[in-house]
Amino acid sequence: MSGKAAHNPQEQTPATQKHRKLDARTRRTRTLLGDAFLRLIMEKPIEDITVQEVLDRAGVGRSTFYLHFRDKNDLLLSQLERFLEHMSSVLMVNKEKSLRVAPVTEMFDHLNEQRKLYCILRDAGRLNDFFDLAQDYFARGIEQRLIDSGRLSKLSKPELAARANALAGSLLSLLRWWMDRVDKEPAVKMDEMFHRMVWNGLR
């Protein structure tokens, strides 16, 4: 064992426990506020929702809210980012051994299940916020998956980043097209289609 591993765990316990408690408290508060806001969005137009309604639904105080968010718009963006952070990194987190660069099946299925929320964001003119954020998240995730694949090792870093951004844009364009269709192909078929586009286009 190394010297660091041999330290007495009790020496770091108070600070570590305090840090973990703060992290857990922050996550819990953000989750309570986010879940409350999403429930309210399903009940009434976003522009009609007040911060006080979110606080009442979440059981959180006003001062606590403003420790975490500037306003309800900031809260909405944080919820979109939480979803995108998870979805864009899920293949890496799960250490999936495949040539998939994005979890198309999982994301398409999830958004189709949440179609009401998707339509609410669209009708409120907030869908572009989602897609603008998604472009950055998926570009980073796709770039890392391309690197991990080992197939593009000869590309320069700028070209790899450019390709990842182009693929992220293609993915989101495909998602918009798919969500607007009445007769949809299964999400798994869209996954296969997207990845044929990815690897055929990168040869």
- 142-161 burial: b if 16+ Cβ within 10 Å, else e: bbbbbeebeeeeeeeeeebb
CA–CA separation, 142 and 16 (whole Å): 34
Q: Which amino acid is at 23?
A: D
Question: Is residue 109 classed exposed, middle or buried when 0-12, 13-18 and 19+ CB atoms within 10 A define those classes?
Answer: middle
Candidate CATH numbers 1.10.260, 3.20.20, 1.10.150, 1.10.10; the one for domain 12-69: 1.10.10
What confidence score (pLDDT) does residue 127 get?
94
Q: For the chain (length 203 residues), average pLDDT per consecutive 10? A: 42 46 82 95 94 96 94 94 95 95 98 94 93 97 94 90 96 97 95 95 64
pLDDT of the residue at 25: 86
| Predicted local confidence at residue 203, as pLDDT | 59
pLDDT at position 19, please?
46
Q: What is residue 22's predicted lDDT score, i.e. its pLDDT?
A: 55
Domain residue ranges of the chain, discontinuous segments joined by +: 12-69, 79-203
What is the model's pTM? 0.82
Q: What does the pLDDT read at residue 21?
A: 53
Give pLDDT, residue 24. 85
* Cα–Cα dist 168/160, whole Å: 12
